[in-house]
Structure 1
């Protein structure tokens, strides 16, 4: 029997709330993840491919916060989970927000 693939919940575009997006982006580790995803582009990246100075469980926590806020999308691909930035959704709901955050000095 094949292994069941867990489908992770994501908010629909209309459920994405600005306060949750800003909270998710306020953390330096999560902001680094978002900057890397923006740099990588729409194809996304496997969860563990972004270098972070945190444990695996902390990485999982940060990725969950971003996903639940609607900032990222995680999709199973084989044994990996590919994370992508929900740029189109965020740009539609909050025009200029992501560009401004990504352009801000680090």
Structure 2
């Protein structure tokens, strides 16, 4: 599925609202997120939820899928990565590469390379410039 490139400014505008940020955080937790859950977790009306999800969709951050009567949202992680890459280009520096899927979203205490090797931890963190 080929889509037009997303402008970083539109993404930032969409993420600037606390309700939309909350929606993105909730949608990011699952592959597909049911719209009906937002009605229970957000302190706003259905029309307001619809307004905010429309802005997130127009910014390219979420996709909407309809199955039967239900609507489901999924996060466009590729768009977030694109914006993050644009930010890194402004201030290049050391950057983590090769994060394992088990580490995503989980906070792990930092280990020294020797301690990691001794513990049998085979994950390697690579810093790039």
What TM-score results when the alignment is normalised by the length of structure 1? 0.71
CA contact (8 A) 1:13 1:89 kept: no
Count of matched residue positions in the alignment of Structure 1 and Structure 2: 84
Equivalent of residue 55 in structure 1, options 45, 51, 54? 45
Q: How high is the TM-score relative to the length of structure 2?
A: 0.59
Cα RMSD of the aligned pairs, angstroms, is 2.1
Instruction: Tell me, yes or no, if the aligned pair for 1:66 and 1:72 is still in contact at 8 Å.
Output: yes
- Aligned partner of 2:34 in structure 1 is 46
Unpaired runs of 5+ residues, structure 2, are 88-104, 106-129
Alignment gaps of 5+ in structure 1: 1-10
More contact order relative to length (CA 8 Å, sep ≥ 6): 1
Cα offsets for 1:32-57 (capped at 9, x unmatched)? 010111122x2x11212121100110
SS in 1 for 2:84: coil
The structure that has the greater radius of gyration is 2
**1:95 alignment partner in structure 2:** 84
Query: Structure 2 CA distance, aligned partners of 1:57 and 1:80?
Result: 16
